[in-house]
Structure 1
């Protein structure tokens, strides 16, 4: 059986750990986030596919997104990295957090799809 003092110390430790965890969540875990959403694609010909997507990020941050075009066997037939620089709060929607993007991806054969593979925040120099 635990003494009253042990119970108080245990409760205090749990409370402090909970507070640290909540602060970590509230502060964004130390890394700025970025998200993307595929909107559509357009196959121009066997050498070019355009991919439309939205990027959600801090308006002051610079992000990069890897965009790929896929062939009929789902093999990558084209790949490009697109840089999305800082933008004003009057750009896009949600005070500049969400912006529409279009990437032109050169392809080595006819694509049947175009998607965003991943996005990340570029560290400030």
Structure 2
């Protein structure tokens, strides 16, 4: 063995290269564990939030009158929550021609159906729920 090779072997024996690889593996395992815990936390907390959200959907075609439109919709909300919805009437060009915020009665039922009549400024061909939300407790 040459003197350079013996010197390199002595340095490896003294300081060791294997410990550096173990450090890299430990660091990688720590990072993987932190990412796994963060992912589980996101799943857990997003599941809690979905229980308190309001869902809504339009049901059936709106009943059209001369200057009014009746919008039928279904709302799913936490029982006992105060909920409001923005309902709108649309023209053939999808312009808003009637709009109103409706405060829904409090109920212990989770899913309920509603029918709301809107006055319009122009002939409406469609009606829809724009958005629903839980009102703050008074």
TM-score greater than 0.5 by the shorter chain = yes
Q: 1:12 to 1:73 in 2, by over 3 A?
A: closer
Instruction: Say which is worse superposed, 6-15 or 55-64, in terms of deviation.
Output: 6-15
Q: 1:111 to 1:7 in 2, by over 3 A?
A: closer
Deviation for aligned residue 1:102: 0.8
Q: 1:77 to 1:7 in 2, by over 3 A?
A: closer
Higher relative contact order (CA 8 A, sep 6+): 1
Q: Which has a greater percent of helix?
A: 2
Tell me if 1:110 matches 2:131. Answer: no
TM-score calculated relative to the size of structure 2: 0.72
**Counterpart residue number, 2:78:** 58
Residues 28-60 of structure 1, C-alpha deviations (whole Å, 9 max, x = no match): 17x8211111113111222x1110000011121
Greater Cα radius of gyration, structure 1 or 2:
2
How many residues are paired up?
116
Q: Unaligned stretches of 5+ in structure 1?
A: 89-95
Q: Which has a greater percent of strand?
A: 1
TM-score calculated relative to the size of structure 1: 0.79
CA-based RMSD: 2.1
Q: Distance in 2 between matches of 1:101 and 1:43?
A: 16
